[in-house]
Amino acid sequence: MFPKLTPATRAIILVNILVFVLEKLATVPMEVHFALWPIATPEGLFRPWQLVTYAFLHDPTNIWHIAFNMFALYMFGPLLEQFWGARRFIGYYFVCLVAAGATQVAVDYATHTGEPTIGASGAIFGILFAFAMLFPRAKLLLYFVIPVPAWLFVSGYAVLELFFGVTGRQAGIGHFAHLGGMLGGALMMLYWRLRSDRGGWRPT
């Protein structure tokens, strides 16, 4: 079952696609100014706005990078947007992407390592977290075949991200950014729950 695109989700997807096209056409790599650079780079390329802009850039040489991220947003975004409303959904999305970027920057600074970070996957992991919390019994297909409850699927994914991040396997992927996106989402939903707003945990 494919969901019907909702306005905010559609807008975010279209912006990502537009930026991807601009990346392909740009004569100077956009990553120089808009990717999320580690704070301690000798060139001093880090800028505060990169905590937002990095999430709208994708590898221009690899269409699967943006395709997987946008497909996940398309699959899970509309349900959350319908539940929360467009305004709250957009706010949640941006909290997750900023939290993801801040986490990656902090880890890079603490470990004196890191490369420029691009991609919406940190925010997407926040979206996955919210989906699992609000619809924990919904079935997701592991390997496109095995039905698994959303809460178990996302929990397992988080454990794998922590494992890969700590061990350094799958280098070149922002595992801590993914975890940071989930953490930002968790804090946002906890805040809403403490306020007794409609955005908190409500298992269905």
- Would you name the residues annotated as active-site residues? 121, 178
Number of C-beta neighbours around residue 84 at 10 A: 20
DSSP E strands: which ranges in the chain?
139-142, 146-149
Using alpha carbons, select from 201, 199, 65, 66 the residue that is nearest to residue 132: 201
SS3 78: helix
Q: How many residues does this entry show for the chain?
A: 204
Please, what's the b/e burial string for 168-204 (b: 16 or more CB within 10 A of its CB; e: otherwise)?
A: eeeeeebbbbbbbbbbbbbebbeebeeeeeebbeeee
Using alpha carbons, select from 3, 37, 202, 192 the residue that is nearest to residue 105: 37
The token pair at 123 is 């925010």
